[in-house]
Amino acid sequence: MLKTYITNRYQQLVENQSNFYTSTGIHVFFQEPLENQDIDVEKVVDKLESSLPSHLLTELEMIIVGWFDEFEERNINAYYEGGTLYISNIQNTAADMYDDLIHEVAHSIEEPHGYFLYGDKKIEQEFLRKRKYLHDILWKMGFKVPQSVFMDPEYNEEFDMFLYEKVGYQKLSRILTGVFISPYAATSLREYFATAFTDFYMHPDEHSFLQKISPALYDKLISLHNPEKLDNQ
């Protein structure tokens, strides 16, 4: 009985969700059906296309909804690779899915706009100043990790796990209020950019806080948003 119920339920989910193309040509493919049937994926993707400037979506060719080994291996629920955005079929709300999509779009534009973003080192310098502050605070709290670890802007899984498991994001949230937009932004330079990019488009009318705590990064986001400014860089 249970096996039959599960089979029928899965078939119902599949039937309720069909692959589609967006008006701009993005192919949305369901490898696994979205578990939360209250989420209208077409509306979420349409919101993404209408909220972000078209020149920031040119790298995105396909969105695949499903469950992938990388999600468990890296403790994530979305990632971008080679023109394709992979996103978990387990989503709490449409807003959560929208958040994940924007975050991965941020990573998609790092290759074509990487020199503009990171070439002058302004974002990196801003990021490392915050990392230095974080090191000093945690050192006083008894987390005796060498400063050199904090001054590496690249992603380091061991450092990520140190922040997530040893320190804890709840404690980090208190420590980093007014410094990073979120605890995850402290994990690497790329995530510093991607979390700010996400906040920029998730809250388009509330930029004052982001501008205050990350002025160099905010200036880059303004230029990215406006193609005429981007062309003049």
Instruction: Say yes or no to pLDDT of 2 above 70.
Output: no
In this prediction, residue 232 carries a pLDDT of 58
Percent of the chain with pLDDT over 70: 91
Average pLDDT over residues 32-37: 93
Residue 168 burial (CB count, 10 A)? 12
Per-residue model confidence (pLDDT) at position 5: 43
Query: What's the pTM value of the predicted model, to 2 decimals?
Result: 0.89
Residue 64's φ and ψ, nearest 5 degrees, are -115, 120
pLDDT recorded at residue 137: 96
Residue labelled with tokens 């890296």? 74
Please give the pLDDT value at position 227.
Answer: 76
Per-residue model confidence (pLDDT) at position 225: 94
How high is the mean pLDDT of the chain? 91
60 closest CA partner among 36, 35, 87, 37: 87
Binning pLDDT at 50, 70 and 90, where does residue 173 land?
Answer: very high
Give the mean pLDDT of 217-231: 86
Q: What is the DSSP letter of 183?
A: G
**Integer Cα distance of 97 and 23 in angstroms:** 20
Sole residue written with tokens 């193309």:
21
Which one has a higher pLDDT value, 13 or 89?
A: 89
pLDDT tens for 121-169 read: 999 999 999 999 999 999 999 999 999 999 999 999 899 999 999 999 9
SS3 content of the chain, % helix, strand, coil (to 5): 60, 10, 35
Q: Interhelix angle for 122-140 vs 189-202, to 10°?
A: 100
pLDDT at residue 123, rounded to an integer: 98
Query: Is 133 within 8 Å of 179 (Cβ atoms)?
Result: yes
pLDDT tens figures, 72-87: 888 899 999 999 999 9
The length of the chain in residues reads 233
